């Protein structure tokens, strides 16, 4: 079985907002900071319970779940008020890795086979709180469900054939270790994980020391494998893991290196202050490690990080903002090109320009935009049938431009699209 996972819970409920959920159409800044910190501090996935009681609340919660998934870079599982195949589809489209059906509802039991066949076993889980909900539907659960969210921590011998995610709501380290040690358990969730959210990496290290195969950062190089400068430090170049933008350069000594690997937060050695410093400890602009690379000589590290806020003390996103010289060149980075073109299109929408074809499309409205998207798609098909495929690239470029106009009209960004593709 794969390494065990630690999965915090988020509860969405209207009467008693949890973790800063006060406006049920927009995430509060505190909530955004909280869920992002979970991603950086060792959470492997996120379990989101929709505890809505009305259809309006349910739809609002789906919007919140979509926003949550836009802010995190770990998989999420949606559970709670899910009643129809359409609900499963909406939650998967909102970016969830999987959806857990509540087996206490007969409507959900009836839905398992249809949802499993429609979306695939890997997209479907089940929520159970009673033994008969598992054993009474064991065949369907084995065939159509990839895992079971166990709403308690009572694991029976008959559960051995299933992948279980028990919820532990007690502050009991021994019980947590015992649950994780069982072969049928792939992870642990519940209030126990939420309560130790600030120390998940440390908790994982404890579990590893107790012989549990837990999902944990593991460095293939020790500090002794690195070539240090005359001061005993190694240079670290820091990049944004999504865009590859260079954010800053800093230095590590042995303790900073070991702390970074241990905690998942970038930790450096300040040569001027002669002390360790965790990036963001005072500003809140943490850098959560996504990967570490050594160069061919082992004398420089490349850190790809999830940067919160600004990397530079001046408030700039990157420390490299002062241009010294510049020459014109053709940028062929696909995402950069797409984002640049999209930004021009979106700027035309906000700041119309006389004679602009883009503004002509926006002025004519959705029907005209859709008509052009359809026409350009047909042009691709026709061009692809010709022996010379050179024309295909022109038609695809025209098509993508019109798709970006449609995206802007629908308030969708490339981040929305790439996130959806990554989830698939």
Mean pLDDT along residues 198-222: 89
The order of strands in the sheet holding 246-252 is: 246-252, 234-240, 300-307, 287-294
* Contact partners, residue 11, CB within 8 Å, separation at least 6: 18, 19, 49, 51
Distances in Å between the alpha carbon of 321 and those of 307, 317, 318, 398? Answer: 16, 8, 6, 33
In order of start, what are the domains of the chain with their CATH numbers? 5-209 (3.20.20.70), 223-307 (3.10.20.810), 334-423 (1.10.287.1080)
Over the stretch 317-352, which tens digit does the pLDDT of each residue have? 999 999 898 787 777 778 888 999 999 999 999 999
Indicate whether 77 pLDDT > 60.
Answer: yes
pLDDT for the residue numbered 23: 45
Average pLDDT over residues 210-227: 91
Asked if residue 423 has pLDDT above 80, the reply is: no
Nearest to 118 by CA among 137, 106, 138, 101: 101
Q: Furthest-apart CA pair in the chain: how many Å?
A: 73
CB-based contact 112:141 (threshold 8 Å): yes
Q: Is the pLDDT of residue 155 over 50?
A: yes
Average pLDDT, integer, range 4-31: 68
Could you read off the pLDDT of 350-363 as tens digits, one per residue?
999 999 999 999 99
Q: What are phi and psi of 163, to 5 degrees?
A: -95, 115
């Amino acid at each position: 079985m794969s390494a065990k996972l630690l999965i915090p819970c988020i509860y969405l409920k209207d009467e008693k907002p949890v973790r800063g959920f006060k406006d049920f159409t927009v995430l509060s800044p505190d909530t955004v900071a909280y869920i992002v910190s979970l991603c950086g501090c060792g959470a492997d996935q996120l379990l989101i319970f929709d505890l809505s009681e009305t259809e309006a609340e349910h739809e609002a919660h789906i919007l919140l779940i979509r926003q949550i998934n836009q802010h995190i870079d770990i998989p999420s599982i949606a559970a709670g008020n899910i009643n129809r195949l359409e609900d499963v589809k909406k939650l998967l489209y909102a970016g969830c890795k999987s959806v857990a059906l509540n087996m206490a509802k007969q409507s959900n039991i009836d839905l398992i086979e249809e949802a499993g066949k429609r979306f695939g076993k890997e997209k479907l889980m089940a929520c159970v709180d009673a033994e008969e909900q598992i054993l009474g539907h064991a065949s369907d659960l084995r065939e159509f469900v990839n895992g079971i969210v166990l709403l308690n921590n009572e694991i029976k011998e008959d559960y051995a054939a299933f992948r279980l995610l028990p919820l532990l709501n007690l502050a009991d380290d021994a019980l947590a270790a015992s649950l994780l040690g069982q072969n049928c358990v792939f992870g642990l969730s519940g209030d126990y994980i939420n309560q130790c959210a600030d120390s998940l990496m440390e908790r994982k290290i404890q579990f590893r020391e107790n012989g549990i195969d837990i999902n944990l950062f593991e460095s293939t190089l020790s500090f002794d494998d690195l070539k240090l400068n005359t001061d005993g430090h190694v240079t670290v170049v820091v990049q944004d893991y999504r865009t590859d933008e260079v954010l800053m350069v800093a230095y590590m000594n042995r303790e900073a290196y070991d702390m970074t690997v241990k905690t998942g937060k970038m930790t450096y050695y300040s040569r001027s202050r002669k002390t360790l410093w965790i990036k963001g400890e005072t500003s809140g602009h943490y850098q959560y490690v996504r990967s570490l690379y050594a160069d061919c000589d082992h004398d420089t590290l490349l850190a790809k990080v999830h940067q919160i806020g600004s990397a530079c003390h001046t408030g700039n996103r990157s420390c490299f903002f002062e241009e010294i010289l510049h020459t014109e060149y053709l940028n062929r980075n696909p995402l950069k090109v797409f984002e640049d073109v999209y930004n021009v299109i979106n700027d035309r929408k906000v700041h119309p320009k006389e004679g602009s074809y883009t503004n002509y499309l926006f002025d004519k409205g959705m029907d005209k935009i859709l008509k052009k998207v359809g026409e350009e798609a047909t042009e691709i098909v026709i061009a692809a049938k010709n022996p010379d495929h050179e024309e295909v690239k022109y038609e695809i470029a025209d098509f993508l431009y019109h798709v970006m106009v449609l995206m802007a009209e629908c308030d969708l960004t490339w981040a929305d699209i790439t996130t959806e593709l990554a989830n698939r």
